């Protein structure tokens, strides 16, 4: 049985579009590889603010004073039910499994 978390975010990544998501990763391929090689499997060395912005947050997600943009790749059609946290998880999934060479 495959990992449920992987399966969920892989399916969401495919639905939203892996190529479009890769363009939103808030770090270079080299940085992602370096962080993963150093054991940062959750990519927390990249600030949460950068991930939030990449996921479409405008405002301050830490205080809850923010709204989500519905721009590509996170359109209403593809990402309507996703919270900001889930959008960030989708981006991190793509960074871990599809972004680095």
β pairing state of 57-60 and 65-68: antiparallel
Confidence (pLDDT) at 83: 95
Q: How confident is the model at residue 1 (pLDDT cuts 50, 70, 90)?
A: very low
SS3 content of the chain, % helix, strand, coil (to 5): 55, 10, 40
Q: Where are the domains of the chain?
A: 4-99
| pLDDT beyond 80 at 77 | yes
Instruction: Give the pLDDT band (50/70/90) at residue 2.
Output: low
Least Cα distance to 21 among 75, 80, 81 occurs for 75
Please report the pLDDT score of residue 61 as a whole number.
Answer: 77
Model confidence pLDDT, tens digit, residues 13-48: 999 999 999 999 999 999 999 999 999 999 999 999
Task: Report pTM.
Answer: 0.93
């Amino acid at each position: 049985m495959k990992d449920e978390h992987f399966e969920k975010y892989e399916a969401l990544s495919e639905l939203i579009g892996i190529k479009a998501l890769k363009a939103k990763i808030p770090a270079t391929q080299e940085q992602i590889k370096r962080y993963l090689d150093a054991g940062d499997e959750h990519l927390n060395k990249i600030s949460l603010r950068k991930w939030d912005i990449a996921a479409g947050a405008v405002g301050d997600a830490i205080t809850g004073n923010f709204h989500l943009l519905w721009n590509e790749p996170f359109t209403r059609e593809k990402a309507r039910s996703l919270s900001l946290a889930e959008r960030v998880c989708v981006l991190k999934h793509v960074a871990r499994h599809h972004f680095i060479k």
